[in-house]
């Protein structure tokens, strides 16, 4: 049986999934050499990729994980390229480069690819205490000039509000990290309960490349 005849016998949904997986895989492998993200507590797009990357067309996502659903519908490449949410040549002026309301998309970086990350709603959270660890996966071993970790102030509501700089408290700024697969930062953010956003800025060392990463947590 020739390839064309075989493809006609496959269900259309299977063909669609295989095609999208192939496109996403090519996109992911093409960018992996220069990227990374916070994997614990998982960034918004990394978490969506982790939970649904092999089943991203499953309609059950719409009810079980609605924020990931809207993200996959908006731009699948935001999840395939979970490791590419950065801007170049910011020169440390993060507030000037990333406007209020666009913090989770890095100022609509990548031609707006990550814009769904800015959407308020019931993002899946990771349970944490007042002291916890932020773990960043540095795929390309760039190292860091520094990491800055912010946490939203009590009273901010990620379900209804877009993130602004004034909603954040700077918890820590680290020193340099030598190239390594993972970088870890201990965070102490007392006086918080419920759903909050951890906002991590990773200033990579290999060039002026700044990553902007939103992770959702639930203080218990």
**Residues 126, 187 contacting (CB under 8 angstroms):** no
**Considering just the CA atoms, what is the radius of gyration of the chain in Å?**
18
CA 149: distance to chain centroid? Answer: 14
**β pairing state of 209-219 and 86-88:** antiparallel
Quick: pLDDT tens for 3-25.
444 443 444 443 344 444 444 44
pLDDT in tens, 112-163: 999 999 999 999 999 999 999 999 999 989 899 999 999 999 999 999 999 9
CATH class entry, domain 3-219: mainly beta
C-alpha triplet 205, 206, 210: angle, nearest 5° = 60
Distance CA 199, CA 179 (A): 22
Q: Which single residue is written with the structure tokens 């992996």? A: 32
Q: In which band, very low, low, confident or very high, does the pLDDT at 29 lie, cut at 50, 70 and 90?
A: very low
Could you tell me if 113 and 75 are in contact, meaning their C-beta atoms sit under 8 angstroms apart? yes
What pLDDT, on the 0 to 100 scale, is given for residue 140? 86
**Using omega within 30 degrees of 0 as the cis cutoff, is the peptide bond preceding 131 cis?**
no
Cβ atoms within 10 A of the Cβ of 190, count?
A: 8
Mean pLDDT of the chain: 88
Gap between the Cα atoms of 35 and 83, Å rounded: 5
Residue with tokens 């999208």: 20
């Amino acid at each position: 049986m020739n390839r064309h005849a075989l493809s006609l016998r496959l269900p259309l949904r299977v063909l669609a999934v295989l095609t999208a997986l192939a496109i996403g895989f090519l996109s992911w492998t093409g960018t992996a050499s220069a990227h990374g993200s916070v994997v614990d507590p998982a960034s918004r797009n990394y978490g969506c990729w982790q939970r649904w990357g092999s089943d991203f067309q499953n309609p059950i996502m719409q009810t079980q994980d609605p924020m990931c659903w809207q993200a996959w519908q908006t731009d699948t490449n935001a999840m395939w390229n979970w490791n590419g949410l950065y801007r170049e040549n910011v020169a440390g002026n993060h507030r000037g480069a990333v406007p209020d309301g666009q913090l989770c998309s890095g100022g609509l970086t990548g031609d707006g690819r990550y814009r769904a990350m800015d959407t308020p709603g019931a993002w899946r959270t990771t349970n944490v205490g007042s002291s916890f660890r932020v773990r960043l996966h540095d795929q390309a071993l760039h190292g860091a000039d520094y990491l800055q970790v912010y946490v939203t102030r009590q009273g901010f509501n990620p379900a209804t509000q877009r993130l602004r700089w004034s909603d954040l408290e700077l918890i820590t700024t680290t020193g340099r990290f030598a190239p390594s697969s993972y970088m870890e930062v201990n965070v102490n953010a007392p006086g918080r309960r419920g759903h909050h956003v951890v906002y991590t800025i990773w200033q990579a060392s290999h060039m002026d490349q700044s990553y902007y990463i939103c992770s959702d947590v639930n203080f218990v």
